Amino acid sequence: MSAEAEAGSGGSTAYIQHHLQHLQWQVGEGKFMTLNVDSVVISLLLSLLFLVVFLRVSRKATAGVPGKFQTFVEMVVGFVDGLVRETFHGRSKLIAPLAITIFCIVFLMNFMDMIPVDWLPGAWMKLNELAGHDPHHAYLRVVPTADLNITLGLSLMVFLLIQVFAIGHKGVGTFVKEAFTAPFHAHGAVGKIILAPVNLLLRVIEELVRPLSLTLRLFGNMYAGELIFILIALMTWNAAFSSGLTYVMAPIQFISGFVWTAFHILVITLQAFIFMMLTIVYLSMSVESH
């Protein structure tokens, strides 16, 4: 959606609100649940893209001199595998593939923020207009990780994996015992009974903080990045109301967009890396005994 298309719909405020509105589907009677269709569909497509690319590379991998893309994939796999070996202190063949999957999918979701803010929403508006629908009510957000529901879903997946790994490595008995006996230890039955509620409360807080921190860190950074791109896109539209300012703001908009894009590439990569590393660290902590 172009900034000019919002001229008759409330100006810059409407433009921002339009870009921050999801394509939604009301599930059940009485709006039982609202589904952000754009976030779900784009997440599934990016996940499918990751699977297709990596499966194709693995099937075409050669023992001789690899191609450029195979070399790149092998570098990523080797780098992540090295991090897992240094960080994860348990034994599991699942951690390295899981870490690679998390990094690549989160990175792909973040990378959607690199697409100019008006391209895909504008194309969606045009399709709705051709179909005879009101283009101003055709909403589309293309950055899944700027949706709190997606980041929360990813974090809850990690949270469940933490519990599964902990029970798998320690057993149900030790897992439950640690919830009541750590971090504060006591000698004697009376001391253990007294400290059990405190230990359990601290354990619950510790476990809940992990998915919460993963959720808010990723969502906050990507939402802020998306909003800054939208504000940069508004520079020339706002200047159109002042005579002569459009020609001044156009190069400033271009430079601002270029600088923020270059910086944001680091942000999206770093956020994917942090999400992956924290997942590995949390899984490693879950298999260690107190």
Q: Among 213, 242, 243, 286, which one carries the catalytic annotation?
A: 213
Question: Is 12 one of the annotated active-site residues of the chain?
Answer: no
Q: Helix, strand, or coil here: 254?
A: helix
Closest listed residue to residue 268, CA positions, set 82, 114, 94, 119: 114
The DSSP symbol for 135 reads G
Q: Among 221, 242, 243, 256, which one carries the catalytic annotation?
A: 221
- Is residue 275 within 8 Å of residue 100, measured between CB atoms? no
Question: Is 210 one of the annotated active-site residues of the chain?
Answer: no
| Intra-chain end-to-end CA distance of the chain, in Å | 54
Which token pair is 96? 């390295």
Question: Is 213 one of the annotated active-site residues of the chain?
Answer: yes
User: Residue 147: what are its φ and ψ, rounded to 5°?
Assistant: -105, 120
How many beta carbons lie within 10 A of that of residue 208, not counting itself?
11
Which token pair is 97? 């593939």
**C-alpha to C-alpha distance for 40 and 45, rounded to whole angstroms:** 9
Closest listed residue to residue 228, CA positions, set 220, 218, 216, 240: 220
Burial of 134 (0-12, 13-18, 19+ CB in 10 A): exposed
Q: Among 128, 149, 203, 217, which one carries the catalytic annotation?
A: 217
- Is residue 278 within 8 Å of residue 162, measured between CB atoms? no
Which stretches of the chain are assigned E, i.e. beta strand? 24-27, 33-36
The residues assigned a catalytic role are 213, 217, 221
